[in-house]
Structure 1
Amino acid sequence: MTLDSRRTEGVHPDHPDLDRLEVSELVRVLAGDQAGALRAVGAAVPALARAVEAALPRLTQGGRLVYVGAGTSGRLGVLDATELTPTFSWPRERAVPLIAGGARAIREAVEGAEDDHALGGRDVQAIGICDTDVLIAIAASGTTPYVLGAVEEGRRARALTVGLANNADTPLLRAVDCPVLLDTGEEVISGSTRLKAGTAQKIALNTFSSAVMVRLGKVYGNLMVDVRTSNAKLEGRAVRLVRHATGAGEAEAQRALADAAGNVKVAIVTLLLGIPATEAITRLAAHGGHARAALEAE
């Protein structure tokens, strides 16, 4: 008998003796079930594309990506927000993660925080949410009060609201401008949405934010040209990216990067057009930071 209509809370019908399996079979079952996450995200591609298209005009105007969630969903939001800066040089202040219970909840459960509808609204209000922002609300259940309170406040401020949930026809998906259903169904370990529900959320967040960054000019071809060179590994990566994009030798690429203060995109435009770094910077600025547009402009 199903006591909860949400599929993520249901009991998986295929593995009633999970605790009796040999280790190799147990691992095979757990790993194999993750394929459901890929199928769920694949079905959500049209919804994710609509969310990206809706987000771009706001972000072009200087808006922020605001992530809201509780528990596993909140931690995945924190992760996606955090990785945008080193990967795409996205300004840290324009990727704002909010998790029920605050920073302490990243490492431990904060009892009752996810059930506090008013707290979600207050947390969003405290960051000064506005109509150029994009609020990404994440909740496997689709019913988390903290997340619903945050969405309510985001909509009041006319921010764009995107919702990721793993159950259909839930309050979260009904409340947002851009609903994204990740229908992963029952978990192998019943109710443990850190499994394939969480995996689907991670893939969907990666897909959404990466697509946004590509369209905002953070990528040239399929090269990560806005990477921030903050350590030796990334400095080596920057040299390889410049060489791949331009055909330059290592010494030439290093010189161009030095002239560009480590900016891969500037170094590429400098080398491909044979212009000084200062002119490459001006040219990129005139084309919204898009390397291809800067290179192809008359």
Structure 2
Amino acid sequence: MLEKLTTEKRNDNTMNLDVMSIHEILETMNREDQTVPQAIAMEIHSIEKAVHYVIQSFQEGGRLIYIGAGTSGRLGVLDAVECKPTFGSPPEMVQGFIAGGVKAFTEAVEGAEDDEEQGGKDLASITLSNKDTVIGIAASGRTPYVIGALKYASEIGAKTVSVSCNKGAEISKYASVFIEVETGPEILTGSTRLKAGTAQKLILNMISTASMIGIGKVYKNLMVDVQSTNLKLVERSKRIIMQSTEVDYEIASEYFEKANHNVKAAIVMILLQCSYEEALVSLKKANGFIRKAL
């Protein structure tokens, strides 16, 4: 069935890839990559549905779980890992699973993606519940490991989403919301870490970022729930306070300390001229949204 997948077809624009100059190869890759956002634009409605699912899960105390194999699995794990420092989310809130386990993140584990049963077992290992949203990722749209995960998630009553790069993808049959971004033939036939991988990375960024905005982790366009775990992030936190309130560096630093390094609380303290305790109460009443707290 592989020959029917657009991700596996040969690209007419790169039949002479092996005799192109380096400059021509790079220009061709760049030109092909520019088609990816256009393909994603056709699926915004489905991506929006997925975001609503994730926001609902977060509001109910549920989680976002990415699951995939190979490049798709690695992209899911990457997006999950980056949510904690970016949005101050607890590590269990967004999780990623890859066929073959942790080892597969840096080394190919042959045959792992063909184990349909393991997909369900991996989700069972974290006690998946009907409050969670599971997003299965597969460029081909036919990976057994992902299909098994989506089947299990559906049985549990979890919300299910699939992300693939072929129309009429097999995994779409097992998801309540399916995102099918047809990125077309790769410049290097079958290497779906290229355009397909780029599309998946962009989509996962969209889903996680829009979902975090939807639960109050952003004020204006600032990531106000950033965790100050290193010197760079401490300085970024102070700069965010300055940008949110138009105070100078010294005042931002003062309130950063007064708020116990809680950036959102510091912003509310400055704008409402209130105590740390009062800021926390205001934020709690506003479900974490700074605008509502103000």
Paired with 1:23 and 1:224, the residues of 2 have a C-alpha distance of 39
What's the counterpart of residue 180 of structure 1?
179
List aligned pairs for 1:191-270, cutoff 5 A.
191-270=190-269
Paired with 2:35 and 2:142, the residues of 1 have a C-alpha distance of 22
What's the counterpart of residue 156 of structure 2?
157
SS in 1 for 2:13: coil
Paired with 1:177 and 1:209, the residues of 2 have a C-alpha distance of 18
> How far 1:54 sits from its partner (Å)?
2.4
Unaligned runs of 5+ in 2: none
> How far 1:55 sits from its partner (Å)?
2.3
SS in 2 for 1:92: coil
SS in 1 for 2:217: coil
> How far 1:44 sits from its partner (Å)?
1.3
What's the counterpart of residue 30 of structure 1?
29
Paired with 1:277 and 1:68, the residues of 2 have a C-alpha distance of 40
SS in 2 for 1:192: coil
> How far 1:113 sits from its partner (Å)?
0.4
Deviation string for 1:162-181 (max 9, x for gaps)? 11000111111121011111
Q: Is the 8 A contact 2:57 2:64 kept in 1?
A: no
Letter in 2 for 1:39: Q
Deviation string for 1:7-65 (max 9, x for gaps)? 00111111110010011111111122111211121111111111112222221011011
SS in 2 for 1:227: coil
Q: Is the 8 A contact 2:169 2:180 kept in 1?
A: no
Letter in 1 for 2:54: A
Paired with 1:285 and 1:270, the residues of 2 have a C-alpha distance of 14
List aligned pairs for 1:92-103, cutoff 5 A.
92-103=91-102
**Root mean square deviation, CA, Å:** 1.0
| Structure 1 runs (4+) greater than 3 angstroms displaced | none
> How far 1:290 sits from its partner (Å)?
0.8
What's the counterpart of residue 145 of structure 1?
144
> How far 1:115 sits from its partner (Å)?
0.3
> How far 1:247 sits from its partner (Å)?
1.0
What's the counterpart of residue 288 of structure 1?
287
What's the counterpart of residue 126 of structure 2?
127
Q: TM-score, normalised by structure 1?
A: 0.97
Q: TM-score, normalised by structure 2?
A: 0.98
Unaligned runs of 5+ in 1: none
Paired with 1:101 and 1:81, the residues of 2 have a C-alpha distance of 17
**Greater shift in the superposed pair: 71-80 or 123-132:** 123-132
Q: Is the 8 A contact 2:53 2:133 kept in 1?
A: no
> How far 1:95 sits from its partner (Å)?
1.5
What's the counterpart of residue 54 of structure 1?
53
Deviation string for 1:200-259 (max 9, x for gaps)? 000000011000000110000111100111111111111111111111111111111101
What's the counterpart of residue 91 of structure 1?
90
> How far 1:3 sits from its partner (Å)?
6.2
User: What's the % identity of the aligned pairs?
Assistant: 41
